[in-house]
Amino acid sequence: SFYYINKSLVHHLLYKQKSFIIIVDQTKIFITMATRCLYFATIMLTASILVLGISAQFECGGNIIGIRAQCITFVQKGGENFPPSESCCAALKGANISCYCKYVTPFIESKISIEKAIYVANACHAQNIPTDKCGSYVIPHPPSSKA
């Protein structure tokens, strides 16, 4: 990951490219791009997220991109529950909610309210809504009415 460079480039690298690390070894000057590792890590993380999303979509049905685009405002953290739009419900059509719940990670839980997501799924009459758990969120059971 080292590159041999011409000494005339040193000025450019020192003053214009802050992300390069300059290593001087007598007559040769080598540079390594510290950002290469960062770019690689970012690409790998993005690829992992995409693969996970694609895996969930194939296994669980529905359109994950459409669900995210149409339903995000109804599942954001904070605020009250309010009925989802018709376009959100249309995006959820054919989605197996219990299946998607298997893919809920702590990162996803930090971004959306799973409680609201279950509310939206119920309001849209989605398929296979879990009754016990989604991610780490435990779904409360309504009190039983004994007469």
The one-digit pLDDT tens for each residue of the chain (147 residues) are 344 555 555 545 555 444 444 444 433 444 445 555 555 656 665 555 454 444 555 578 777 888 888 999 999 998 889 999 999 999 998 889 998 888 888 988 888 999 999 999 999 999 889 989 999 999 887 766 554
Identify the residue whose tokens are 């990162």.
Answer: 107
Parent domain of 5 = 1-60
CA distances from 52 to 35, 91, 103, 104, 120 (A): 26, 19, 8, 10, 22
45 and 71, same structural domain? no
Which of 51, 71, 143, 53 minimizes the C-alpha distance to 114? 71
- pLDDT of 64: 80
User: Do both 50 and 91 map to the same domain?
Assistant: no
Which has the closest alpha carbon to 59: 102, 105, 115, 121? 102
Within this chain, do residues 97 and 123 fall inside the same structural domain, yes or no? yes
The amino acid sitting at 1 is S
> How many domains does the chain contain in total?
2
* 121 and 65 belong to one structural domain: yes
DSSP, res 79: S
Of 50, 48, 49, 53, give the one whose Cα is nearest residue 67: 53
| pLDDT of amino acid 22 | 47
Q: What is the pLDDT of residue 121?
A: 93
For residue 78, the domain's CATH number is 1.10.110
